[in-house]
């Protein structure tokens, strides 16, 4: 190592420390992707994430925890001055804007998930028929009860993937096995929300990528790749948190997604210069 490296590093790190405006709670999308985070291995994080055999030996050092979409923090610390934001409202908005204009029907796998529920409610209120894949009648009734009566007709229950055999647009908010994917008709498109994304097994269908947003021009000091994204692109939830900061919103975005804020969040992102990747 160059003998001047230590002194240069100390000088670069010295002086006045800037105020922190935004903190992104880094997390992986699968067990080994934790090692791709910038504070783990800078060399790995400088490239888009791929599986590497040599990360297997580090598996025992990786752990996982749940926080209820941030609710645990806001309940435990009611006087928080920092806004807690999961950013999934923008992820939902981005998925919706990937659908072709004038779409009439969507098959939704994982409708009871946070993203699935919000997308289903939003689309039904715009006269789009949504077949929600769930075997729980109680869960389905609960979700449909959130719709005004005049829109409830647009949400129907699908108990198996076979019920999606006539739908060209499959929104995937949970893992789908190869057997389940077989029920999609030829030419169907899979819109990916499941993490990690489903395997691309159907040669006669198309698959979207996980939601990514290209950052506005002028962004500096972005030295790493965020998981599988290229440089300058971040996941929708990360971009959603940045929009929350730049707009100066003072509410927490935790727990269930509010469908009424999907358009507001999307319009703010577009105004700030974010783009679908």
Tell me the mean pLDDT in the region 103-116. Answer: 93
Residue 270 has pLDDT above 60, yes or no: yes
Q: Domains, the chain, ranges and CATH?
A: 86-98+212-217+230-247+258-277 (no CATH), 100-207 (3.40.50.720)
**What pLDDT shows up at residue 28?**
56
**What pLDDT shows up at residue 242?**
92
Q: What is the pLDDT of residues 188-202, one digit of tens each?
A: 999 999 877 899 999
Rank 29-33, 55-59, 202-206 by mean pLDDT and report only the highest: 202-206
Tell me the mean pLDDT in the region 235-261. Answer: 92
Q: Which residue has the higher pLDDT, 83 or 166?
A: 166
CB-CB contact of 199 with 178 (8 Å): yes
Rank 27-31, 238-242, 271-275 by mean pLDDT and report only the highest: 271-275
CA distance 60 to 49: 19
Can you read off the two tokens belonging to residue 262? 């999907």
CA distance 66 to 139: 22
Q: What is the pLDDT of residues 36-76, one digit of tens each?
A: 565 555 555 555 555 544 444 444 444 434 445 566 667 77
**At CA 233, angle to CA 223 and CA 48, rounded to 5?**
65
Question: Taking Cα atoms as reference points, which of 240, 224, 229 lies closest to residue 272?
Answer: 240
Predicted structure pTM score: 0.79
Question: Taking Cα atoms as reference points, which of 89, 153, 133 lies closest to residue 115?
Answer: 89
Residue with tokens 């971009």: 239
CB-CB contact of 99 with 168 (8 Å): no
């Amino acid at each position: 190592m160059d003998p001047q490296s230590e002194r240069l590093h100390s000088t670069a790190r010295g002086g006045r420390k800037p105020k922190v405006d935004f903190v992104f709670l880094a997390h992986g999308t699968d067990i080994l992707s934790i090692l791709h985070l910038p504070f783990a291995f800078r060399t790995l994080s400088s490239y888009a994430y791929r599986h590497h055999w040599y990360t297997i030996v580090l598996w025992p050092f990786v752990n996982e925890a749940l926080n209820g979409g941030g609710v645990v923090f806001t309940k435990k610390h009611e006087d928080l001055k920092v806004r807690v934001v999961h950013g999934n409202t923008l992820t939902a908005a981005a998925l919706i804007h990937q659908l072709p204009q004038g779409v009439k029907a969507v098959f939704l796998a994982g409708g009871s998930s946070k993203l699935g529920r919000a997308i289903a409610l939003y689309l039904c209120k715009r006269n789009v028929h949504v077949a929600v894949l769930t075997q729980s009648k109680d869960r389905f009734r609960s979700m449909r009860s959130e719709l005004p009566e005049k829109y409830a007709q647009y949400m129907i229950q699908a108990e198996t993937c076979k019920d999606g055999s006539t739908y060209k647009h499959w929104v995937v908010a949970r893992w789908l096995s190869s057997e389940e994917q077989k029920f999609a008709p030829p030419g169907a498109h899979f819109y990916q929300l499941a993490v990690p994304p489903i395997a691309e097994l159907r040669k006669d269908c198309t698959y979207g990528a996980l939601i990514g947003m290209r950052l506005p021009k002028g962004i500096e000091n972005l030295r790493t790749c965020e998981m599988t994204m290229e440089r300058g692109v971040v996941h929708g939830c990360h971009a959603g948190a940045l929009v929350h900061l730049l707009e100066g919103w003072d509410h927490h975005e935790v727990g269930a997604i509010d469908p009424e804020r999907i358009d507001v969040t999307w319009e703010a992102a577009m105004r700030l210069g974010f783009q679908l990747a």
